[in-house]
Structure formats: C-alpha cells, structure tokens
Amino acid sequence: MAEPTVGAPPAPGTAAAHAASALLDWAAEPRHDRPRAVVITGPSGAGKTRFLAQFLAASGRNPRITVHATGFAEGQIARTLAWQLGRHLGYGPLDPDRLTRRLQSDPRPVLLVVTDLHRAGRGPDHLPSASPAAVVSELLGPLLALPNVRMIVESDTADLLGAEEPLVLGLDPAAGPTGPSSPDPVRAPAGPTALAGPDWRTATAEEREHALDRALATGTARELLTDPGYLVHGSVAAITATLADPSLSLPKHLREVWAAAAPALSFPGLADSERAALLHAAATGRDPKLAEYLRPLAETSSWTALWSLPRRKTAALAVLPPDPTGPGTAVAADTLGRLTCHSLTDGRTLASPDSGTLWTPEALAVLTPTCLLGLDRSGILHPIPLTTATVPSSAAHLTLHHNAATLASPADLPTAVAAGPRHAAVADGRGRVHLWSLHSPETGPRTIELHRSAVTAVSCLDLPQAGAALLVTGGLDGTVRLWDSATAEALPGPVESRKALPTALGLADTEAGPVLAVAWSDRRIHLWHLLSGRMAALPTPHLGQALALTGDGHLLQAGRDGIHACRLDLAALWATA
C-alpha cells in the first residue's frame, strides 16, 4: 500500500498534459452538468498511478481543490478499503455500510481518489471478495450514489467502475512514464508457502504481505491462521478476506478477536510490538489462551492490556479516588443507567449500587468518594450517591443551577462533566465551560468560552499548590484546548486540532507529570506530556466513548464494546515520542 512516486509532470502539449489539465479543471469546478466520476485508464505501463500522484501533488497547491481521502485499492477488499477511506475522512475505520451512512450525513461535498481498482480483491478465489467487482458493488458504487460524493478512480478498463457516463481520461505508454509492468503478487503464489520454521519477526515485508495468498493456493491457509506469530505480522487485508470464508474451520474465538483488532491493525506504520499489543488487547476477555501467548511480545510495547469486559456495554465511566485499603475502583453506568463498581486490578465486580434515579447516561464525574455527578443524554444533571450518605450541598447547588438554566435556554444544555476533589466543570453546547468550586458553590461558576461549537468532552485536574484547576476540553470543531484557572487564560492555540473528533478525555497527575489522554473518533488515543508538549499516539481496538486515566498509569476505555483497562509505560512513551 505504498504511495505512488510523483516524478516529473507531463511535457507540455502532450496527451498526458491535456488529460492533467482536464482533470484539474473537473476537480476545481463541480457542476451539475458534469459527471461525478472520472476514470483514469490505459494499459499497463501507461503511467496511470504516477499520473494520479502528479494530480494529488498539483491539487495540494490549488486552493479550489480538496481531495478528502485517497484509497490504495491494490490487494484490498471492500472492508479494508473502507477503513482506509474512513480514516482519511476523519471518521475512523468504518465498514462499508457505516461509511456510506456517515458520508450521507456529511454536509461537505467530498472528493475521493482510488488507485489501482483493477488490482483490488483478496482471499479465497471462490468468494466474491477476490474480485475487484466486489469492491465496486459493496463500496464504491454505494458511495458514488451519494449526491455529495465525487470520485477519481484508476483502472485498466473504463467499465469496471460501472458509473453512469464517467469522464474517461485514457493514457497510453507513449503519453506517460513507462517502465516494467507490476505483477499482481496476490495472484501469483511464487516462492515457498511460508518460512521454514517461521520467525515472523525476521520475515521480509514481501513474505509477511503475501504468505497467506500463497498458502491459499497450496491449501495450507488454516495452518497459517492458527499461528499467532503470523496473525501479529501478516497482511491485515489478506487475513480479513480469508476469515470471511465460512468453510474454513478455525479456533472458536479467532474470528471474533480478529474482527475487534483488524480495523486498528490496518493503521499504516505500526511497529511489531504495537501490533502484538493490539491483538493481545482484542484477545483479552475473548480468548484467554491466545491472549496469554501474545502477552510476552505485547509487554514490549509502551502499553499492555490488563483486563477486558467486551460484552459489558457501557455509556459512562469514572474512577473513584484511591483507597489505601482497596484495589482502586471504577464505576461504570450501562445504557440503562445501572451502576457497577469494578476492581481496577482485574475488572471483577465489587458492588452494584442503586443509582436512585431513572436516567440515560451520557457522562459520570466523581464529586466525592461517595457521590457522583451524572449527566443524562437529555442534558439534565443528577447527583448520584453511592451510599446512604446525604448528597453534598455543592452537588445540589450546581445541579439545580444548570438544570434551571437548561429549562430557560436549551442552548445552555450541558454536554460534558468532570470533577476533582475541589472543582467541578460543566461544559455546554455553546462551547463554554463553567468551573465550580466545590468548597464554595454559592459563589457560582466561572465561565469561559473555549470553542465555537459544542464541547464533546471535558477533564479537570486540581492544582492544590496553586488553589486552581487545569481544564482540558474537546469540541465538535475537532480541537482540544487547555485553560488554567489560576491565570484565567486559555492557551492562545489548541493543544491539538484534527479532522477527527475528540470523544473523551482523561487527565491525571502522574510520576511523569500531568498527562492528558485524548480519545479520538478514528480509534486513536493521543497521550500528551503537558510539561514538555510531547505526544505519543496509540492505536486502539476499542471505541473510546468514555475514558479515565489514573496517576499510576492505568488507562480505562468504555463504550458499546465494553470496558477495557491497560497499563501505560509512561517512561517508554515519552522516550519514544
């Protein structure tokens, strides 16, 4: 999936130069009387891929052209190509149906580029996914049917895309750079089926990428797929395509584990230890035997899964203050508002307190060791005592204040909450954060506007020596921002800005200093060492709808796919960031 080389542009006056000019004009002027698809076609050696690379380079210099996503289709199936496109669009790795629905609701006019469509397809020959036509019918066709989507596709024939009256730009070997044609390695099982006594850590990139293609040709695919070492190092597209074959008899939980890990494993450039950590995290709670096999290699990564409850759908999560007499406790709320307390050490259930209210959880924050602040999806705040103790007056005061404000003005609807021992923060749909002192709530909140759109997440860290709080927020504008209440000033620019959305935040004072964890909508977690400004990016197989970070380096994620805990090696993270 290497990006094509740009090379020199076509010589002026040549057919390739005219085609390049026509493509740039089409991309810069979307009109209803023009086709919404362009097919770059021509025989092998005509320079189609390089022509597209030159277009991408030229479009980057043209403010009227925005290419929103590029997909490299060679050796991919519809699912894995959809993961590529979803990542580039800022949505994260989505399956074809979900990607189509997401693009349908996207207000932008979107331009997609797909290279080497004629080389798409992977897996057993008897499955539709082995053919490029399946990528068209399952992914590109539905996307092109959306009125806000335009597409540029490279193919050796003009009719493969199946689009209605596309603009066809044909190249020939004389019009573009020439060279030896590239063989289709996924169709040519040359070389050994696998390495003799394979140590996949020392295998070449070509051996890792095409071992399963060759094994399919020789009938030894099952043996390869039951090798955990190959699962760590092998081709994500080839494994995903082959596991879709229901006739292939495999260990009981392998397909479930791979389905959880594969979208994150498809991120380019992952180190072997990161791939092992991802697969180990997906196996934890699903396949104990595989998880134990993978653990030694996973532990060489900067993070390692500790425990996982993959079937415990969770809407909100918070970690109680450390208790010297216990293992540490996380409180999770399911989609019906039922609470469960879990041990931070191993995830076992410690208690199931009654929330005392009917609510649909959006977020949880810890006000005191015995009282939580719950945010309902309707925007209503609820104090939630964990024991029979009375609700603190600070909780009653701030919930009454914001619930009354919401009734008076729906635009003031709370969207996120956070708290520390001394402060609580309530964020709203106007991009504002309201910071409360829990010791003197009668003074009311301090309010600052940090975003121009709704706040999606907030985290709060008390600074005892300064008597202040550090606030971090994420917004629908794709930014993460920081505010120090001691100076009453926000940083002039965002901590981070991306095409994806920040979905959850965690903030903790660790032995390495204050650390910020940001869960993004594209299944990435960014860990920021705030004193140095260094950032480490972690892929994750989990959906980060809720996040918690502890001072000793425990990171918890929760969402529709359960609750998951991992251990962070903070020293290693900052050494390599």
* Residues 134, 211 within the same domain: no
* Residues 297, 313 within the same domain: no
Tell me: the pLDDT tens digits for 143-154? 999 999 999 999
Question: Which two three-digit tokens encode residue 497?
Answer: 């800005």
Core vs surface per residue 228-242: b (16+ CB within 10 A) or e: bbbbbbbbbbbbbbb
CB 108 within 8 A of CB 148: yes
pLDDT for the residue 176: 47
pLDDT < 70 regions, the chain: 1-11, 13, 174-198, 466, 576-577
**Is there a domain that residue 235 lies in?**
yes
Question: Which two three-digit tokens encode residue 175?
Answer: 């019009």
Q: CB-side exposure of 308: number of CA atoms within 13 Å?
A: 26
Query: What is d(CA 412, CA 431) in angstroms, rounded to the nearest whole number?
Result: 10
Distances (CA, A) of 278 to 119, 177, 184, 541: 29, 41, 30, 6
Distances (CA, A) of 524 to 102, 304, 504: 18, 15, 11
* Residues 103, 149 within the same domain: yes
**Is there a domain that residue 1 lies in?**
no
User: Is residue 175 helix, strand or coil?
Assistant: coil
For the chain, the farthest-separated pair of C-alpha atoms sits apart, in whole angstroms, at 84
**Is there a domain that residue 417 lies in?**
yes
**Is there a domain that residue 59 lies in?**
yes
pLDDT for the residue 5: 56
Tell me: the pLDDT tens digits for 325-380? 777 899 999 999 999 999 999 999 999 999 888 899 999 999 999 999 999 999 99
pLDDT for the residue 174: 56
Show which of 120, 141, 170 is a domain's final residue. 170
**Is there a domain that residue 7 lies in?**
no
Residue 507 dihedral angles phi and psi, to the nearest 5°: -140, 130
Core vs surface per residue 299-321: b (16+ CB within 10 A) or e: bebbbbbbbbbbebbbbbbbbbe
* Residues 266, 321 within the same domain: no
Q: What range defines the domain where residue 161 resides?
A: 15-170
* Residues 194, 161 within the same domain: no
**Is there a domain that residue 452 lies in?**
yes
Residues 6+ apart with CB under 8 A from 65: 24, 27, 28, 59, 111
* Residues 523, 379 within the same domain: yes
**How many domains is the chain partitioned into structurally?**
3
**Is there a domain that residue 10 lies in?**
no
pLDDT for the residue 2: 54
Report which secondary-structure segment, H or E, holds 384: strand 381-385
* Residues 297, 315 within the same domain: no
**Is there a domain that residue 175 lies in?**
no
Query: What is d(CA 266, CA 285) in angstroms, rounded to the nearest whole number?
Result: 22
* Residues 317, 295 within the same domain: no
* Residues 211, 319 within the same domain: no
* Residues 275, 333 within the same domain: no
Distances (CA, A) of 244 to 95, 98, 288, 542, 575: 14, 18, 23, 21, 40
CATH number of the CATH domain containing 119: 3.40.50
pLDDT for the residue 9: 67
Report which secondary-structure segment, H or E, holds 524: strand 524-529
Q: How many CB atoms lie within 10 A of CB 61?
A: 7
pLDDT for the residue 278: 96
CB 482 within 8 A of CB 458: no
The string of DSSP codes covering 360-385 is -EEEEEEEETTEEEEEETTS-EEEEE
pLDDT for the residue 177: 44
Query: What is d(CA 93, CA 25) in angstroms, rounded to the nearest whole number?
Result: 31
Show which of 301, 324, 349 is a domain's final residue. 301
pLDDT for the residue 577: 53
pLDDT for the residue 283: 97
* Residues 249, 234 within the same domain: yes
CATH number of the CATH domain containing 541: 2.130.10.10
**DSSP state letter for 528:** E
How many degrees, rounded to 5, is the angle at CA 119 between CA 113 and CA 123?
115
* Residues 224, 369 within the same domain: no
Show which of 139, 170, 201 is a domain's final residue. 170
